Each structure stands twice: as C-alpha cells, then as structure tokens.
C-alpha cells in the first residue's frame, strides 16, 4: 500500500481520503507520483506533474457542491490554462470505482507530454 511507503511525509500533505485514493491509484498502476497540494502559479492544486505541466483536481461532492466553490474552481482552471498548464478533474467515482479507466486516462495525459 502506498501509505506504507510514504514514510508519513506525503500523507500529511493530503487533505482528504479522495486524495489518498488518487495516490493509491497512481501507485497501483505504476504512474509517476505527483506533487501533492502544492502551489502552481499562485494556486493550491491537489496534484501536479511538473514535467507534464499537468494539474489534476479530485472533486468530491462535499467540497465542490456550492455555487461559490463551483465558480472558484472554474476561475482557477481558466487562470492555470492561460498560464500554460493543463487542468483535468476526476470525480470521486472515477478515482474509487472506475480506477482502471482513470489510470488509463492519466497515463495518456502523462505520455502525451513525454513524462512517461
């Protein structure tokens, strides 16, 4: 399990069980590990692969259900895109129940940039 290998450091960087599930998905499918909850162009993002200029946000309903959160997410995505980053959002169901398909998509996103 990925948590056993993180030696406690990256676990403290996660803010939700969904973020832990995304790290586990990366580990289970041999995907490169991202930076977690890090600043990119002045925005705190869930996951970041610097070589691919790829930002991944994991959207659980609990944190993204309000109009304010919805609007703020879109604003941030647009600002990051304008600064040259690709922003992709994965839902709770994609990360926890459609893992193989999600891993394939993530692998394609990373491969398209030459990161894997």
What CA–CA distance (Å, rounded) separates 75 from 23?
25
pLDDT at 7: 44
Which residues, given as ranges, of the chain have pLDDT below 50?
A: 6-9, 12
Domains of the chain: 34-116 (3.40.960.10)
3-state helix, strand and coil shares in percent for the chain, rounded to the nearest 5 = 55, 20, 25
pLDDT of residue 62: 59
Which DSSP letter does residue 60 get? Answer: -
Structure tokens at 93: 């169901």
CA 37, CA 98: separation in Å to the nearest integer? Answer: 23
pLDDT at residue 56 in the model = 97
CA distances from 82 to 63, 76, 89, 115 (A): 24, 10, 17, 21
């Amino acid at each position: 399990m990925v948590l056993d290998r993180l030696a406690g450091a990256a676990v403290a960087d996660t803010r939700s069980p969904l973020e832990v599930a995304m790290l586990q998905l990366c580990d289970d499918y041999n995907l490169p590990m991202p930076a977690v909850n890090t600043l990119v162009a002045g925005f705190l993002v869930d996951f970041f692969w610097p070589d691919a200029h790829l930002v991944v946000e994991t959207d659980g309903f609990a944190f993204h259900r309000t109009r304010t959160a919805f609007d703020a997410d879109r604003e941030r995505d647009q600002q990051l895109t304008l600064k040259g980053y690709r922003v992709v959002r994965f839902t709770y169901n994609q990360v926890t129940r459609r893992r193989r398909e999600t891993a394939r998509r993530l692998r394609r996103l990373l491969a398209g940039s030459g990161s894997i």
